[in-house]
Chain A
Amino acid sequence: MPERIKKVKKIVSSLLAEGSDFHAEIDKSGDGFRVLVSGVRRVTELSEKSLSLKCPHHSLKIKGDTLSLSLYEDKSVEISGKLEVIEIANTKN
C-alpha cells in the first residue's frame, strides 16, 4: 500500500478513535482510489484536479487527476480517480 494512503488510513483511524462524527472509507478502485465521506454539508471547490468538502467538524481537500464525484441521498460523497494528496483538517475548534 502506498505510503500516503497508509497515512490517510492512520488519520482516519485517529479521528474515529476520538469519537468524532467524521466517517471516511478509502479503497483501491481500478488504477486509482475511491474515498467515501459521509455527512458532507457543502462542496467548496470542484475541478478535475482538486476538490474540497466541508463536514460539520472537519474539512477534506483532495488533489489528484481525473477526479469524479458522486453524491448520495444520505449526504455522503464518493470521490474516485487518481488521488495524490488527501488533507483532512479538524475545524471543530
Chain B
Amino acid sequence: MLIPRIDFLIFGYRKITIEEKDLKNALNLFLKTGLSVKIENSSFLISEKEYKRIESLISGKISCSVSEPLGLFGVLQKYKMRFGISLALLLSIFLCTFASSRVWDIRIDGASPEKEEEILTELSELGFSVGTPFRKIDKAKIEAEMLSVSENVSWININQRGTVAYIKVIEKLSYEEELKSGYANIVATRDCVIEEIILRRGVALVKAGETVKKGQILISGVIPAELGGGFCYAEGEVIGRYLDEISLVIPQTETQKKVVGREIYRKNINFFNFSLKFFKNYRKTETECDIIKEKRKFLSFFGKKLPLSREYEWRVFYEEYDVSYTKDEMIRLGAKRMRDALNRSLSDKTLLKLRTRGEFSDGNYIIATEYVATSEVGVALEFHFFEGKTGD
C-alpha cells in the first residue's frame, strides 16, 4: 500500500500507474534522471512539483495513467471555485491562529490559594492576563517588574506550554516577618511537653522532653553575658505535645433554619476582566436572607476553560423552626458535629491519640473527645525598654 508523505499531503501529490509493458523503461528513465520513487504494483506517488518536472519526460514515451491532484493542494484545486469552502478554511485558520496565540489559562504554583488571586491581579496590572496574546508578552520584563512591584512574590518564573501559562513563584515573606525589629521572647501558649525546638535567634531555655507551663519563656531574647550579651527578637519553632478535650452538648430540642424560597438578585456575564450586568433586582426585602453567589465558567469542547463566565447572585430566604430529636438521632448528630469540630481543631495539629465518650444527662446528649496532639506552642511576646531606665 502506498502511503503518502506528510509534505505530499500538504503540498499535493499525484498517483501514477504505469502500464506493465513500459514499466522497465520508466524505471530506467527515473534512474537516469535521479528521481526518488517507491513503486508498488506498477504505481507510485509523486509530489506535484516533481510531477511538473517529469511530465514532459514521460509524455508520449510511457503509457501511464495520472490521477488528479491529491492531498490538501488537490482539494483546494478541486474546490477553488466554491468560495464557501475557501472562506470556512480561512476562518478556521484564523480561529486556530487566534486561539493558539493567546493565554487561555494561568496556573500558579508555589503560592497559597489566598495569594493566587492577588498575584493574578498584579500580573494583570502588568499586562499579563487571560486573553493576552503571547507575542505581546515579554516574559523577562514581566518577571523583573513583578519582583520590583509585587508585594507577594520574591521570585517568579513564567513558562508557556500550549495556551497555558505556568507560573512558578516563591512567596515573599511579610514585612513583619522579614524585618523583625525590637525585642521579644518566645513563650508557651499552653501547658505541654516539649517535643522539638528549632532555634533561629535567641537562647533556648528549655529542652525536648521538658514540661512547661503556659506563659513560660521557651526562647529568650535576652542574650547572657557569656554569649556576648544584649537583646534580640527571639525566633524559632517550638513543637509541644499536650492533652486537650472537646466537649459538645446536643439538646433534645433546638432551633434550626429552613430555606423557604429564593429569588434571583443579580445576573452578570464576565468576559475576560469585563463584567456585563444584565439583570439586577432592586426590590427591597424585609425578611432576613442570605446572598449566595454562583459563578460558572464556560468550557470549550476540549474541556478548556474559556474566558467567559456566568455569575448569578441569589437571595435565599429562610425561617426558623424547632426540631426534636430521638436518642438515636442525638447520637448521630453528636458524632457528626464532633467530627466537624475535630476537623477544625486538628487542622494545624498532628494527632497522636484520640478517645471519645458520650452520655445522656438531663435530656441532653454530651459527647466529649480527649486527644493527644503536637503543634507549634511558642508565640513571640515583645518586650520594651523605656528611655532613661536601660541606658540603651
Contacts and interface: CB of A to CB of B under 8 A. Distances in A.
Interface of A: 40-46, 48, 68-75, 77
Nearest to B35: A71
A74 B34 CA distance: 7
Interface stretch (B7-15, B23-31, B256-264): B23-31
B90 to A, nearest CB: 37
Nearest to B33: A73
Contact residues of A: prevailing secondary structure? strand
B287 interface: no
B40 interface: yes
Contacts of B30: 71
B173 interface: no
B41 A48 contact: yes
Given A68-B39, A70-B36, A70-B39, A75 B24 contact: no
Interface residues of B, number: 14
A83 B24 CA distance: 20
Contact of A73 (B23, B27, B35): B35
B93 interface: no
B180 interface: no
A48 B35 CA distance: 21
Contacts of A42: 28, 31
Contacts of B23: 46
A38 to B, nearest CB: 12
Interface in B1-59: 23-24, 27-28, 30-31, 34-41
A72 B41 CA distance: 18
A42 B27 CA distance: 8
B44 to A, nearest CB: 9
Contact of A45 (B24, B31, B36): B24
Contacts of B31: 40-43, 71, 75, 77
Nearest to A81: B40
13 contacts: A42-B31, A43-B24, A43-B28, A44-B24, A68-B39, A68-B40, A69-B39, A70-B37, A71-B27, A71-B37, A72-B36, A73-B35, A75-B31
B316 to A, nearest CB: 68
Contacts of A75: 31, 34
Contacts of B39: 46, 68-71
B37 A46 contact: no
Contacts of B27: 43, 46, 69, 71
Nearest to A52: B24
Contacts of B37: 70-71
B24 A71 contact: no
A28 B23 CA distance: 27
A4 to B, nearest CB: 24
Contacts of B41: 48
Contacts of A73: 34-36
